[in-house]
């Protein structure tokens, strides 16, 4: 942990060039607040999951139409079980809202998200299955030997397990993050660290939670994924174990503030490998998609009160009106398509 904290000091000192313009990051990187529905249908607990005492969760993005109904439901993350995702979609599709109003007229609410937790009344199953444990043990041994093709093969087989317990999901993503670090793939490392959940899960100790959040924070800053960095920072502030180090995190956040308000482009490398879509939360209001290797076919921009769909061509530039708040991008295309997202400097 001390080694990682030294990295924080280095980040605060050297990663960003000095800027003259500072902005309050909290105003630009706010977490989307889940709206309060009029009718909220609870999801049905999948029968097979209940029988095996399997718990899980699913995160969804959706649009609230002018009549208060829900449309365009997307699963953005899951704990590794498709049955929970399916149950969550069916439930959210039945929700009803009082629509947002603008100048006396109903408008869409397009930046909505919710996390649905599936928990047993009594404590759910936390042990791992023999099948999972066998593959995990083999993967660890291969990782220790630096037999990376074998590690990747075992990880793929573990992800092919259709239904995973929460403990298994955390262990698998932690292993995948360790493998990504070993092969120097920070993008993949952050992807897997983001999918480790805390809360009541006994597989994560307070010390491990601090270490994981710290790694998320560092990687997000290094990869220019500033909203992810800020979200990790907010979680770190709530941990007692992190209190002695908060000044170091704050120093990095101050540099991030300056960088976002500065004159340099923010460049993010993206890859659609084994994903239906690539998601990103904007911190500026003008951006381009460049250096496309493969095929992108759709860009879905979801903001607080606007949504637009676009086709995509290389070097297209989009300017989002400043009145559109909390904008997230969902980029669709062929598997393994690579591209860069460039956020241009904020114009006064």
User: Looking at domain 266-343, which of 1.20.120.1200, 2.60.120.10, 1.10.357.10, 2.30.140.10 is its CATH number?
Assistant: 2.60.120.10
Per-residue pLDDT, averaged over 252-274, amounts to: 91
In whole numbers, what is the pLDDT of the chain averaged over residues? 83
Residue-level pLDDT at 125: 62
Q: Which fold has domain 2-28+127-259?
A: 1.25.40
Residue-level pLDDT at 25: 34
Of the ranges 3-7, 162-166, 191-195, 309-313, the best mean pLDDT one: 191-195
Distance of CA 123 to the CA centre of its chain: 27
Per-residue pLDDT, averaged over 158-175, amounts to: 90
Residue-level pLDDT at 28: 31
- Tens of pLDDT, residue by residue over 57-83, are 899 989 888 888 999 998 988 888 889
Band of residue 126 on the pLDDT scale cut at 50, 70, 90: low
Residue-level pLDDT at 166: 87
Residue-level pLDDT at 77: 87
Residue ranges of domains in the chain: 2-28+127-259, 266-343
Higher pLDDT, 123 or 342: 342
Band of residue 310 on the pLDDT scale cut at 50, 70, 90: confident
Q: Of 32-46, 133-147, 167-181, which gets the smallest average pLDDT? A: 32-46
pLDDT > 50? residue 273: yes
């Amino acid at each position: 942990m001390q080694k990682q904290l030294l990295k924080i000091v280095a980040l605060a000192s050297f990663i960003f060039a000095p800027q003259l313009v500072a902005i309050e990051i909290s105003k630009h990187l706010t977490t989307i607040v889940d709206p309060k529905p009029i009718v909220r249908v609870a999801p049905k607990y999948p029968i097979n999951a209940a029988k095996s005492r399997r718990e899980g969760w699913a995160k969804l993005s959706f649009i609230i139409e002018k009549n208060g109904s829900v449309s365009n439901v997307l699963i953005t993350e899951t704990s590794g079980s498709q049955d929970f995702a399916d149950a969550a979609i069916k439930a959210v599709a039945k929700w009803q809202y009082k629509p947002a109003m603008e100048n006396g007229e109903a408008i869409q609410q397009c930046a909505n998200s919710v996390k649905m937790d599936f928990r047993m009344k009594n404590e759910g199953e936390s042990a791992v299955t023999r099948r999972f444990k066998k593959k995990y043990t083999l993967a660890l041994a291969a990782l220790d030997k630096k037999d990376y093709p074998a590690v990747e093969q075992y990880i793929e087989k573990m992800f092919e397990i259709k239904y995973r317990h929460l403990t298994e999901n955390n262990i698998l993503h932690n292993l995948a993050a360790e493998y990504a670090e070993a092969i120097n793939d920070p993008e993949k490392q952050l992807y897997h660290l983001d999918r480790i959940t805390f809360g009541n899960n006994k597989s994560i100790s307070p010390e491990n939670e601090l270490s994981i959040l710290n790694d998320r924070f560092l990687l997000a800053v290094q990869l220019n994924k500033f909203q992810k960095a800020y979200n990790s920072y907010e979680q770190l502030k709530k941990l007692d174990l992190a209190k002695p180090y908060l000044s170091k995190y704050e120093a990095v956040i101050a540099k991030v503030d300056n960088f976002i308000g500065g004159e340099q482009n923010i460049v993010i490398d993206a890859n659609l490998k084994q994903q239906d879509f690539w998601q990103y939360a904007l911190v500026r209001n003008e951006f381009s998609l460049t250096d496309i290797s493969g095929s992108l076919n759709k860009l879905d921009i979801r903001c607080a009160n606007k949504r637009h769909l676009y086709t995509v061509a290389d070097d297209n530039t989009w300017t989002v009106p400043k009145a559109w708040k909390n904008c997230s991008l969902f980029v669709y295309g062929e598997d393994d398509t690579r591209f860069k997202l460039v956020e241009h400097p904020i114009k006064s």
